[in-house]
């Protein structure tokens, strides 16, 4: 993998912004970037972003950020001075109105030479001057180029100051909005909760992620101010000293009590779980503290919060569950409740499979021990699992019925820290 920086492409090829990626450095080119409608931003109380975004739309010329890990120097021929408060934020680009699917190109360099020359020729981009990038590639170098990075447009719709729950010397607690990423992704290290919260608080040092929740989930997230506290919080999580309570809006009733499943150890989603122990699968446990009947959100509330209509057969009522998360597997609450026939409202990844099973009972190959009993070989069992996975859908674009409603832990002096996210979207 070539160790190069991330490249974001400005509209009409008026300029480029080169940004460093800390873990996996890749080249990215983003096309057709446009600022969201001003009126939409004002409706969300975010018109303060206009000046920053228009600054790039009107004045972007070639700007270079050095690839040094130790220090990041930004030079520019723009007349507008760069803020001294975490200058990296000036790399943020206007968000496109079109929802382009991410596009990745995989390239192999057959002959050595300047990196920009190779990429512009391979992807038919306008030529760029070598003085903006002097890196030279060796022959047979592998490049992964993000031509259209994944974007998070909700970052520009949020009043981030209003989402701050608490600020201390060591950490910040954020009520994360759905449709946003807590930390950076391979092709987008800018449009993150950590960056936007840092900017909202006018901090000189970027906030650091201590744990993750899904992009489509809202609620409590702890961001560390220092590397030391980031390590402290990671240790608390490993030692299971951090307690997390969730509110889940399920499409069907979920009995209170301990819920145990075993999750298939597969990196990609959807996550498949079994009620029966399967060797090598990971333990998943949560405790449903209570489950109460509530009105199904009306169409206006669903539209305002980006909830997809997935044609669930009974929308008379939904069920709000209070959940104590005991193990922190990816998609755990979503997968476990769906396995019980109670998918979360708006969960386009897990609800389609449940609807399919309702139409054809017994379809799920890992329910009630079928995985063990009804297949002649391991190959047949795995084939059935893959077929079941195809019944699932795509990851939600914005929000689902899930909120990380409370987070708490004790520090080394036995002082209690407890934070609440406030009412979930379906009650507002």
Contact 410, 417 (CB under 8 A): yes
Quote the CA–CA distance of 341 and 335 in Å, as a whole number. Answer: 10
Q: What share of the chain is helix, strand, coil (3-state, %, to 5)?
A: 25, 25, 50
47, 41 contact by CB (below 8 A): yes
String of DSSP letters for 41-97: HHHTT-GGGHHHHHHHHHH---EEE---SS---EE---SSPPPSS-GGGGG--PPPS
Q: Which of 50, 67, 187, 214 is catalytic?
A: 214
The CA-CA-CA angle for residues 30, 35, 41, to 5°, reads: 140
Question: How many Å apart are CA 328 and CA 331, to the nearest integer?
Answer: 9
Cα–Cα distances (Å) from 388 to 180, 283, 382, in that order, read 28, 20, 10
**SS3 assignment, position 339:** helix
d(CA 219, CA 201): 18
Contact 159, 186 (CB under 8 A): no
Catalytic site residue 214? yes
Q: What is the DSSP letter of 181?
A: B
For 86, counting Cβ atoms within 10 Å of its Cβ (0-12 exposed, 13-18 middle, 19+ buried), the class is: middle
Sign of CA dihedral 113, 119, 125, 130: negative
Report, as residue numbers or ranges, the catalytic residues.
214
């Amino acid at each position: 993998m070539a160790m190069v920086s991330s490249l974001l492409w400005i509209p009409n090829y008026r300029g480029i912004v080169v940004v460093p990626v800390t873990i996996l450095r890749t080249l990215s080119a983003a096309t057709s970037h446009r600022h969201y409608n001003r009126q939409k931003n004002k409706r969300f109380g975010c018109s303060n972003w206009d000046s920053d975004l228009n600054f790039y739309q009107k004045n972007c010329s070639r700007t270079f950020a050095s690839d040094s890990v130790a220090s990041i120097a930004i030079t520019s021929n723009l007349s507008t001075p760069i803020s001294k408060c975490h200058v990296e934020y000036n790399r943020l680009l206007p968000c496109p109105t079109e929802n382009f699917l991410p596009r990745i190109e995989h390239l192999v360099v057959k002959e050595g030479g300047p990196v920009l020359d190779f990429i512009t020729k391979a992807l038919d981009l306008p030529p760029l001057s070598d003085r903006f990038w002097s890196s030279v590639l060796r022959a047979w170098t592998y490049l992964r180029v993000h031509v259209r990075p994944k974007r998070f447009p909700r970052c520009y719709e949020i009043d981030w100051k209003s989402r701050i729950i608490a600020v201390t010397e060591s950490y910040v607690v954020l009520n994360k909005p759905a449709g946003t990423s807590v930390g950076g992704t391979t092709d987008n290290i800018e449009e993150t909760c950590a960056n936007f919260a840092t900017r909202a608080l006018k901090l000189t040092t970027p906030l650091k992620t201590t744990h993750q929740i899904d992009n489509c989930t809202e609620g409590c997230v702890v961001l560390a101010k220092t590397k030391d506290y980031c390590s402290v919080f990671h240790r608390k999580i490993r030692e299971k000293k951090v307690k997390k309570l969730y509110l889940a809006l399920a499409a069907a009733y979920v009995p209170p009590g301990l819920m145990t499943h075993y999750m298939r150890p597969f990196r990609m989603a959807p996550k498949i779980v079994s009620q029966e122990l399967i060797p090598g699968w990971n333990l998943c446990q949560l405790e449903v503290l209570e489950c109460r009947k509530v009105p199904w959100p009306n169409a206006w509330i669903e539209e305002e919060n980006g909830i997809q209509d997935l044609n669930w057969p009974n929308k008379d009522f939904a069920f709000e569950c209070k959940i104590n998360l005991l193990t922190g597997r990816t998609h755990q609450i979503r997968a476990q409740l769906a396995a019980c026939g109670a998918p979360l409202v708006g969960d386009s990844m897990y609800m389609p499979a449940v609807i399919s099973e309702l139409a054809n009972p017994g379809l799920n190959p890992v329910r009630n021990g079928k995985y063990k009993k009804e297949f002649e070989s391991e190959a047949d069992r795995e084939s059935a699992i893959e077929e079941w996975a195809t019944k699932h859908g795509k990851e939600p674009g914005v929000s689902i019925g899930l909120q990380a409603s409370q987070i708490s832990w004790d520090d080394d002096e036995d002082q209690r820290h407890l934070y609440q996210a406030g009412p979930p979207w379906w009650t507002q």
